[in-house]
Amino acid sequence: MIRRLLLTLIVLAAAVGLAASQDVTPSPTLLAQIDELEQWATEIRGLHALSPVDRRFPNRSEVEAFIASQLDDPETLDFYRDAQVAYVAFDLLPPDFDLVASLRELLVAQVGGYYDTDTKSMNTLLLTGGELADRLPLLEQIVYVHEFTHALQDQNFDLMKLLGGEDDVAFAQQYPDQALAGQALVEGDATEVMTVFVQRLTEERPAEVLRDFSALTGALGSFDIPSGTPPILEAELTFPYLNGQKFVQALVADGGWARVDDAFRNPPRSTEQIINPDAYLSGDEPMAVDLPDMSAALGTGWSQRFDRTGGEFFLRRYLSTQLLSFAVTRAAGGWGGDRYRLYTDSTGQFAWVWKLTWDTAKDADQFASIIDMFMTSRFGSEASDGCWVGSDGAACIAQAGPGGDVVISRAPTLDLAVAMRDTAGF
């Protein structure tokens, strides 16, 4: 399943590539080093393995086959067909983009290893070249510690349960913002353990780190995100690692690793809480938003594809299609909750309406002002009665008075955009 795949693949934020390796039995010397790496991870994280962990060292072709098996799963393919509709409707992908092919290329290029929640096995690849020998080079040690942290998480907290259990794909489809937040907790935790490991190893064994440093920097500098990867895919891939680590660091600063354990028992429910850890620490939960059905406003021939929360991460990505980062932060920073309904017809056209609520009246007014600029940039013209019209459709905006909720509608025609806005309006 795709969310399970993204959860268990260990994609290094610095971007590394695969080198072929052999699936062979580790030597006693290597096993001793692996035992030591697991002791490092256990000490840093404060979690203990409840049972032996299945260690594997697959080669490149085996990893590519694993990725393919995940992406070619029928339920996963349906997930991405739906995801592509949303990405296209919110200007995040062009209509003819091959989403699965791009994701396959991205994952194969970036994977450093993975923990398989089905088989309970952790898989480490040789990234700096050569074959499995009597010791893992520094980069592989870093990956191994990350992987082993996932094994500790799974044994102590049940990772699949965290992201929807056996219905993880359906959960991610209905609750994408919450699923991404949970994933950020999992990957941020493992990334922070990995980082602390490198810091401590450098302090205690500087000569060992220096010996492997040139090979490490060479591997990290030789591979990039594949050209042509859409920003939305790159952002979704790196968000759990980069923002997730900052979230975990905030938890550790607040109450040590025990605070992170508490987060696994009471996971974050929104990407707002990941982006702004104080929201999680203060108990700021996402607000529920009511949004009526648009079927009557649209008329016959339309069917609903989504009725769900977009979340702060998704809002930021949408705003980034037209705005610079400082404007995106100002517009989205006060997100309090949202809900959107997306509809399609038999010709492939789409229409959607999005209602957003805010933490404060100031946040709401700030967003309303910036989304006006966003739409003017998007359609290349000024608004008329709160609506914009372009060659590919129309959009309208309404606000429930100063400091109130904001509604955005998007449709193939101005009449439909107005009808949806008014149906959802105030």
pLDDT in tens, 122-135: 888 877 666 788 88
Range of weakest confidence among 219-223, 342-346, 392-396: 219-223
Q: What is the CA radius of gyration of the chain?
A: 23
The helix (H) or strand (E) run that includes residue 345 is: strand 335-345
Q: Is the pLDDT of residue 16 over 60?
A: no
Convert the pLDDT of each residue in 26-45 to its tens digit.
789 999 999 999 999 999 99
What is the CB-side half-sphere exposure of residue 70 using CA atoms within 13 A? Answer: 24
pLDDT at 10: 38
What is the share, in percent, of the chain residues with pLDDT greater than 70? 91
pLDDT at 182: 96
Tokens of 139: 């980069």
Range of weakest confidence among 103-117, 258-272, 336-350: 103-117
* 19-43 burial: b if 16+ Cβ within 10 Å, else e: bebeeeebeeebeebbeebbebbbe
The whole-angstrom separation of Cα 343 and Cα 59 is 44
State mean pLDDT over 358-376: 97
pLDDT at 63: 80
Q: Is the pLDDT of residue 25 over 90?
A: no
pLDDT class for 22, splitting at 50, 70, 90? very low
State mean pLDDT over 92-100: 93
Model's pTM, two decimal places?
0.92
The whole-angstrom separation of Cα 383 and Cα 372 is 8
More confident residue, 190 or 103: 190
pLDDT at 206: 87
Q: Which residues contact 284 (CB under 8 A, 6 or more apart)?
A: 272, 273, 278, 359
pLDDT at 129: 61
State mean pLDDT over 144-171: 90
pLDDT at 44: 98
pLDDT class for 118, splitting at 50, 70, 90? confident
Mean pLDDT of the chain: 89
Convert the pLDDT of each residue in 213-257 to its tens digit.
766 555 554 456 788 889 999 999 899 999 999 999 999 999 999
Tokens of 415: 């009449």
Q: Is the pLDDT of residue 396 over 80?
A: yes
pLDDT at 15: 30
State mean pLDDT over 137-154: 92
Q: Output the CA torsion sign for 238, 165, 148, 186.
A: positive
Q: Which residues contact 206 (CB under 8 A, 6 or more apart)?
A: none
